[in-house]
């Protein structure tokens, strides 16, 4: 069968050959054993319901072995033989072009060049899954190939519940991931219900099919490092010769060295997984690899002396770097951490006291001891960071729950009031007041034709739109526009594409609508092919996350999730092609609710109406909430939005005199 026939086939009626476990690619670590014997039987029963009863005797033994060896049932036998990547949209079978665009995005998320653990259907973050198993993938792709524009596919945590009658203006797909009853959102609950095959961790853009490789976080990291540099700058100096120390080269965190190069500093990024280091180095995302601490110290001193722009991967543990640089008096200007501490006990963070291989074995066989070593390592890391900040280092939490888990480990990271952390989240200090409150967030698009020349044309279109907007914009948002014009002009030369022909930039509602409308007009004229719009959930309005996206909300509502829920509901009836809502994201299961969307542009008048309605809401919902929290920049932004759109009328806060209180 050809590719289209294989997609339309879904789950094959005859069993394909059993596949060997491929040791050449990066695999998810074994998950800890958490199910009782009765629950293991339930997990097997749940897995076998995808298959004809005649296959159950063979598959039962196989799935039992997977559950015992890996802690999950992935159904490796059913992994497709065809290459996994985002094909040009016309190569997908189907009755709905919108559905074809979703198939393209799903395959992009599972592309070997994009996905962190592709055979386990995990895109990034250690556990950010597109599906729980390969049967779900096969069935979903089959449904998408069959559906019409009068149907909606319903997705329950990776499981395609089925096609339901709807209408052409409804979303083609509605996705939920990990939406647990609140009392069942502890980390071990994820382990249990994921092992049972009834829930999954969709991260942010993994389970919503909108991940575009590390480029997405490169842009956000570039903006963060640039603005972090501005916070410590004296007399308008840039980042030349300044040192940024961080960690993590797997998944999204692999973007850090590239962002450091674009921002113009020296970046040292630690990573314990040799395969991840090799991948980023071979992709050109990091310049040099060093595994000896003394060699690293000498190399950094030389780079500082020559004011080089260079990124260095250290193959080893981040704790070793912080301690060595402290001992050798290597001054760190900017510091952070991007290890996946939302997932600390299952491969998100590796303790300094044992090897990578020992850790992978211990986390499954002796999870209590592993947790003890992780917390010991976190305490050591925090102590070393405190030593550096005492010398003047500006350290910020990158929203990956580093400070949260360090505090739970008893590390010295709390402020004097014993409520707040002594270091800010990057959203509190940088992205919140400088970007989110003004409505600027990670707008992204994918050229469904798969043609690099289409991407180049969209870059030109977006740049021209931003430059025109900048001519008439208030002083408050001139810097944001200038940073993004600089970004888009350097996008081609920085070789940011991994997987699909995609791009990201930060834009407000005006910028997103005008760029999208310009794309739609270019599609109508035949200048470019169709385009898929989306964004990271890490945005103005898509995510309620008290330690990250909404950490600069100070009216007591940062632990509520009304905004994210309203965001996805509002997007769904304003024209989104697909919508998603997740429990869990970059800060952990039970710590965040986040929503996203995808929108297909085909050059039609209907697409033009949809994009204007949906994108305006998608941004201003969040600005309104931030304004009500008394964020000064958001009050300015929502007043400006009301001037533009007479149908918008938002409740504004009255400020209380502090002396009165």
Q: pLDDT tens digits for 433-447?
A: 999 999 999 999 999
Task: Count the alpha carbons within 13 Å of 321 in the hemisphere toward its beta carbon.
Answer: 29
- Fold type of domain 441-641: Urocanase fold (3.40.1770)
- Average pLDDT value over all residues in the chain: 95
Q: pLDDT tens digits for 462-516?
A: 999 999 999 999 999 999 999 999 899 988 888 888 889 999 999 999 999 999 9
The annotation status of 372 as a binding-site residue, yes or no, is no
The annotation status of 126 as a binding-site residue, yes or no, is yes
Strands (E) across 11-112 are located at none
Question: What is the C-alpha separation between 350 and 70, in angstroms, rounded?
Answer: 19
Q: pLDDT tens digits for 222-269?
A: 888 998 998 888 877 889 999 999 999 876 667 899 889 989 999 999
pLDDT at 251: 65
pLDDT at 420: 85
CATH of 214-424, picked from 3.30.559.10, 3.40.50.10730, 4.10.320.10, 3.40.710.10, is: 3.40.50.10730
Overall average pLDDT of the 369-373 stretch: 96
The CATH 3.40.50.10730 domain(s) of the chain lie at: 214-424
Contacts 24+ apart (CB under 8 A), 558-567: 561/593, 562/625, 563/621, 563/622, 563/625, 564/593, 564/594, 564/595, 565/593, 565/595, 566/621, 567/541, 567/542, 567/595, 567/618, 567/621, 567/622
Question: What is the C-alpha separation between 103 and 138, in angstroms, rounded?
Answer: 11
- Pairing status of strand 334-335 against strand 310-315: unpaired
The CATH 3.40.1770.10 domain(s) of the chain lie at: 441-641
pLDDT at 342: 80
pLDDT at 252: 63
pLDDT band at 103 (very low <50, low <70, confident <90, very high): very high
pLDDT at 322: 98
Overall average pLDDT of the 395-423 stretch: 91
Per DSSP, the three-state class of 128 is strand
The annotation status of 209 as a binding-site residue, yes or no, is no
Overall average pLDDT of the 34-52 stretch: 98
The annotation status of 586 as a binding-site residue, yes or no, is yes
Q: What distances in angstroms separate CA 607 from CA 384, 447, 521, 600, 611, one per listed residue?
A: 53, 16, 10, 8, 6
Overall average pLDDT of the 41-45 stretch: 98
Question: What is the C-alpha separation between 129 and 115, in angstroms, rounded?
Answer: 10
**Which has the minimum average pLDDT: 10-19, 172-181, 545-554?**
545-554
**Which has the minimum average pLDDT: 50-54, 76-80, 353-357, 428-432?**
428-432
Asked whether the predicted pLDDT for residue 200 surpasses 90, the reply is yes
Asked whether the predicted pLDDT for residue 600 surpasses 70, the reply is yes
pLDDT at 393: 97
Asked whether the predicted pLDDT for residue 370 surpasses 90, the reply is yes
Asked whether the predicted pLDDT for residue 191 surpasses 90, the reply is yes
């Amino acid at each position: 069968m050809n590719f289209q026939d294989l997609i339309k086939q879904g789950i094959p009626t005859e069993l394909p050959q059993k596949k060997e476990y491929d040791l050449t690619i990066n695999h998810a670590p074994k998950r800890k054993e958490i199910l009782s014997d009765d629950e293991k039987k339930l997990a097997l029963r749940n897995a076998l319901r995808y298959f004809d009863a005649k296959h159950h005797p063979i598959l039962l033994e196989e799935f039992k072995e997977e559950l015992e060896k890996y802690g999950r049932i992935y159904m490796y036998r059913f992994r497709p033989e065809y290459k996994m990547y985002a094909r040009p949209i016309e190569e997908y079978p189907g009755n709905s072009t919108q559905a074809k665009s979703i198939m393209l995005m799903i395959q992009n998320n599972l592309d070997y060049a994009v996905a962190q653990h592709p055979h386990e259907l995990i895109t990034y973050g250690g556990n950010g899954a597109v599906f729980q198993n390969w049967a779900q993938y096969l069935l979903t792709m089959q449904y998408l190939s069959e559906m019409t524009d009068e149907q909606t596919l319903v997705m329950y945590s990776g499981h395609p519940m089925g096609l339901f009658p709807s209408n052409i203006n409804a979303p083609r797909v509605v996705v939920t991931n990990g939406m647990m009853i609140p009392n069942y959102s502890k980390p071990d609950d994820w382990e249990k219900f994921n092992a049972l095959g009834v829930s999954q961790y969709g991260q942010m853009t993994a389970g919503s099919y909108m991940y575009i490789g590390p480029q997405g976080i490169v842009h956000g990291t570039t903006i963060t490092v640039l603005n972090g540099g501005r916070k410590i700058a004296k007399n308008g100096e840039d980042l030349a010769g300044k040192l940024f120390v961080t960690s993590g080269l797997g998944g999204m965190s692999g973007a850090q060295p590239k962002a450091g190069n674009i921002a113009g500093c020296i970046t040292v990024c630690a990573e314990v997984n040799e395969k991840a280091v090799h991948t980023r180095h071979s992709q050109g995302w990091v310049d040099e690899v060093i595994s000896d601490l003394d060699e690293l110290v000498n190399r950094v001193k030389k780079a500082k002396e020559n004011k080089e722009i260079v990124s260095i991967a250290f193959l080893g543990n981040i704790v070793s770097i912080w301690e060595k640089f402290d001992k050798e008096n290597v001054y760190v200007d900017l510091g952070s951490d991007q290890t996946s501490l939302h997932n600390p006990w299952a491969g998100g963070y590796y303790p300094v006291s044992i090897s990578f291989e020992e850790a992978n074995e211990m986390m499954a066989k002796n999870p209590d001891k592993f947790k003890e070593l992780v917390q010991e390592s976190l305490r050591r890391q925090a102590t070393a960071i405190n030593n550096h900040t005492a010398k003047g280092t500006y350290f910020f939490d990158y929203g990956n729950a580093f400070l949260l888990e360090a505090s739970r480990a008893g590390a010295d990271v709390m402020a004097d009031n014993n409520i707040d952390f002594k270091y800010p989240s990057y959203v509190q200090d940088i992205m919140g007041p400088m970007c989110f409150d003004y409505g600027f967030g990670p707008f992204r698009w994918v050229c469904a034709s798969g043609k690099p020349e289409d991407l180049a044309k969209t870059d030109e279109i977006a740049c021209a739109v931003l430059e025109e907007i900048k001519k008439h914009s208030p002083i408050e948002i001139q810097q944001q526009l200038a940073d993004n014009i600089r970004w888009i002009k350097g996008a081609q030369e920085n070789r940011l594409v991994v997987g699909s022909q995609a791009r990201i930039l930060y834009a407000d509602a005006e910028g997103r609508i005008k760029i999208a409308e310009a794309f739609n007009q270019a599609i109508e004229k035949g200048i470019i092919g169709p385009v898929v719009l989306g964004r990271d959930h890490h945005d103005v309005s898509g995510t309620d996350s008290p330690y990250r996206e909404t950490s600069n909300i100070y009216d007591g509502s940062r632990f509520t999730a009304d905004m994210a829920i309203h965001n996805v509901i509002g997007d769904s009836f304003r024209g989104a092609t697909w919508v998603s809502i997740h429990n869990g994201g970059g800060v952990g299961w039970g710590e965040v609710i986040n929503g996203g969307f995808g929108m297909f542009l085909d050059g039609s008048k209907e697409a033009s109406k949809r994009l204007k309605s949906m994108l305006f809401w998608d941004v201003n919902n969040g600005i309104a909430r931030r304004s009500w929290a008394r964020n000064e920049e958001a009050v300015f932004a929502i007043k400006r939005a009301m001037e533009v759109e007479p149908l918008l009328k938002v409740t504004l806060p009255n400020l209380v005199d502090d002396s009165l209180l």
